[in-house]
Amino acid sequence: MLNSLSGEVTDRPPFWLMRQAGRYLPEYREIRAKAGNFLDLCYNPELAEEVTLQPLRRYGMDAAILFADILLIPHALGQPLAYREGEGPVLDPIRSAKELGKLDVADIHKTLDPVYETVGRLSQSIPKDCTLIGFAGAPWTVATYMVEGRGSKDYANIKNWAYSDPAGFGTLMDILVEATIEYLLKQVEAGAEVVQLFDTWAGVLPDDEFRKWAIEPTKRIVEGLHTQHPDLPVIGFPKGVGGNIIDFVRETGVTAVSLDTGTPLDWAAREVQSLVPVQGNLDPMLLVTGGAAMEERIVQIRETLGKKPFIFNLGHGIVPQTPPENVARLAEIIRGS
Ligand code: 1CP
């Protein structure tokens, strides 16, 4: 993984899968039931370590991703957060500059300390040739949940705020940029070797706003991290942004990008992989379907992107209905056994 990120073409691509820990694994569901609610699991270093290790034991991925969630930052900033069964995350929304006083920027680490402890444990317990990935949500995506109060279909509230009061909304984004830099630096100090920034909802922004609320904040985070750790690999994941991914790569300074499922492979090999290593992009639904359809696409992705620095992954996270045996087959194909 680290070789690929430094620009090497490896014999076989390293692989890991977004959301590789989670509900598709029976052993995860067991721990999840024991932990109580999802936040308790995220803040329990022993159990969070265990669920991070579960997929590695089964499939031997080349990277482990810290078990946590992108919404721990708003939670650490004091925004009430709950994860409801079948509904996903729910927060008390913040929709104007005058509500920003509710956020407590003084010390996010009080709340987030257990996460750093999980990273520290993992850096000792993962296999030697396995890379430890830390992560955070990118500010735009984290802000969508903070402002909408939950997952959204139309992003009406956040867009209305960003369009009508860019200065006020910019203050929220500044808070998130600073918190994210601090959070990721602590993860790196605890042992994370690579970090990934998930900008899942970057694709809902038009060009100029994409530059302002996705490229600019990401660039500031990359700079903040590289000031302390110049060689730290940072993977960007601006999902659903089409050709705008080129400007994202050129302007943010990310080390590599993760490609979503909709990115054309030939185009990516030519236009994106000539700039940085790429990661991706099997459709998570093909991992549900399995069989020949899945296997053919895995081979095609590998053949098209494997000639330049490449990390095999999905185009988005594993879904809960994924049969674990399909993940085993994927691992077998990638390893060439
Ligand atoms: O057990 C449960 O019921 C909770 C489900 C769950 C899990 C397993 C949530 C709630 N978060 C997570 C873990 C998680 N989230 C990881 C762990 C590491 C891994 O194994 O990969 C990571 C990297 C995330 C990142 C995350 N959370 C993103 C970005 C990536 C993506 O998938 O787009 C987003 C958008 C979230 C928000 C979130 N947290 C949880 C849910 C169900 C959601 C999505 C809500 C929505 O669809 O809007």
- E strand segments, 60-178: 63-65, 81-84, 88-91, 131-137
With a 6 A CB cut-off, is 65 part of the ligand 1 pocket?
yes
With a 6 A CB cut-off, is 317 part of the ligand 1 pocket?
yes
Q: Mean pLDDT over residues 16-33, rounded? A: 97
Q: Mean pLDDT over residues 186-198, rounded? A: 98
The pLDDT score that the predictor gives to residue 86 is 83
The pLDDT score that the predictor gives to residue 325 is 98
Cβ partners under 8 Å of residue 304, min gap 6: 265, 266, 268, 269
Q: List the catalytic residues.
A: 19, 23, 32, 69, 145
The pLDDT score that the predictor gives to residue 124 is 98
User: What is the separation of C-alpha 312 from the centre of its chain, rounded to a whole number of angstroms?
Assistant: 15
CA of 71 to the centre of ligand 1 (A): 9
The chain-wide mean pLDDT, for the chain, equals 97
With a 6 A CB cut-off, is 135 part of the ligand 1 pocket?
yes
Q: Of 15, 70, 146, which is best to mutate to test ligand 1, by the most ligand atoms within 8 angstroms of its C-beta?
A: 70
Exposed / middle / buried, residue 306 (Cβ in 10 Å: 0-12, 13-18, 19+) = middle
> 156-181: per-residue pLDDT in tens?
999 999 999 999 999 999 999 999 99
The pLDDT score that the predictor gives to residue 257 is 98
Does the pLDDT value for residue 245 go beyond 90? Answer: yes
Residue 316 assigned ligand-binding role: yes
The model's pTM is: 0.97
> 202-221: per-residue pLDDT in tens?
999 999 999 999 999 999 99
Does the pLDDT value for residue 81 go beyond 90? Answer: yes
- ipTM of the complex as predicted: 0.92
> 105-143: per-residue pLDDT in tens?
999 999 999 999 999 999 999 999 999 999 999 999 999
Q: Of 16, 19, 314, which is best to mutate to test ligand 1, by the most ligand atoms within 8 angstroms of its C-beta?
A: 19
Sign of the Cα pseudo-torsion (309, 231, 256, 315, in order): positive
Q: Predicted confidence band at 337 (pLDDT cuts at 50, 70, 90)?
A: low
The domains located in the chain, with CATH, are 17-253 (3.20.20.210)
> 251-267: per-residue pLDDT in tens?
999 999 999 999 999 99
Nearest CA, atom 37, ligand 1: 70
Q: Predicted confidence band at 87 (pLDDT cuts at 50, 70, 90)?
A: confident
Helix (H) or strand (E) holding 196: strand 194-199
With a 6 A CB cut-off, is 235 part of the ligand 1 pocket?
no
Residue 118 assigned ligand-binding role: no
CA of 18 to the centre of ligand 1 (A): 9
Does the pLDDT value for residue 311 go beyond 70? Answer: yes
